Amino acid sequence: MTGNARRSGPPWSVDLLADLHAGVLDPGTEAELRPLVEDDPEAREILAALDATLHDLRGLRDAPPIPMPREVAERIDAALAQEARRAAEEFRPAAPVLDLAAARAKRNKRLGLGAGVLVAAAAAVGIAVLTVPRDNSATDSVAGATPSNSPVTASGGPGDAPPLAVRDENFGPVFGDVLKAQNYGPLENQDQLAGCLAGAGIAAGKPLGVSPISLDEKPAVMAILPGGSPGAYRIVVVDPDTCGPDNPDGVLANSTIEP
């Protein structure tokens, strides 16, 4: 019983009535208090309110779970994807910094150009040299490109870069690139990917990232999905030529990354 509870008579302490209602008082105190409370209309109203509260709570406990609205789930997935991309960028190893003079000297030696010609060309177009060719047959590529956080949406047509290569389900080296991409490749769209995932009993909305890859030199599509808990991710790889709702063998890999 609470120390400030009044037992001499009404009005009774709400804490005392709650303890009586919960059955936590010692038997002697409860036997002494019960008939006194039952003779007090105000105390009976409080006990009735506690009964009603318990009834409502039991109803909530036994009720079926309320599904999360789809738009809310999509906003949560988008926020998780954005945070994962930010984390991937923060932990990406920084590119080595090369002294500008050393870079120019190295470039001049490879191309057989004088330093004056190189400086004049750079001043004429007002750009910074971003890459160093690997052989003497390469032509100068002049670019004023700026970094972009836009998702990768390669079309998969002729001349595109080869797909990301994975061996023995070692997805770590390509995880960050796939997470930043929304490229369904031969599957074309989210619905076809969902059909492939359904073949393995996987229900998913829009993936956090998706991209064509090669898995052990076999063309495939890798999707990164929420892992079901904070910081967890699910990696699913499908064979775009055979996957579908009726073919569980079309899923080539299915693993979870835990934080």
Torsion from C-alpha of 68, 69, 70, 75, nearest 10 degrees: -80
Nearest to 51 by CA among 43, 86, 90, 5: 43
Cβ-defined contacts of 81-89 (< 8 Å, 24+): 81/179, 81/208, 81/209, 84/179, 84/208, 84/233, 85/149, 85/179, 85/180, 88/175, 88/176, 88/179, 88/180, 89/176
**Mean of the pLDDT values across residues 100-120?**
46
Q: In the beta sheet, which residues pair with residue 211?
A: 222
pLDDT single digits (tens) 72-84: 888 888 888 888 8
**The pTM is what?**
0.43
Q: Please give the average per-residue pLDDT across 125-154, as a whole number.
A: 40
Helix (H) or strand (E) segment spanning residue 177: helix 172-179
pLDDT band at 66 (very low <50, low <70, confident <90, very high): confident
If one compares 119 and 254, the residue with the highest pLDDT of the two is: 254
Q: What is the DSSP letter of 202?
A: -
Own/partner pairs for 216-220, CB < 8 Å, 24+ apart? 216/166, 216/167, 216/168, 217/165, 218/252, 219/163, 219/186, 220/252
Cβ–Cβ < 8 Å for 197, 238: yes
Q: Which two tokens stand for residue 12?
A: 């009774």
Confidence of residue 178 (pLDDT cuts 50, 70, 90): very high
pLDDT band at 197 (very low <50, low <70, confident <90, very high): very high
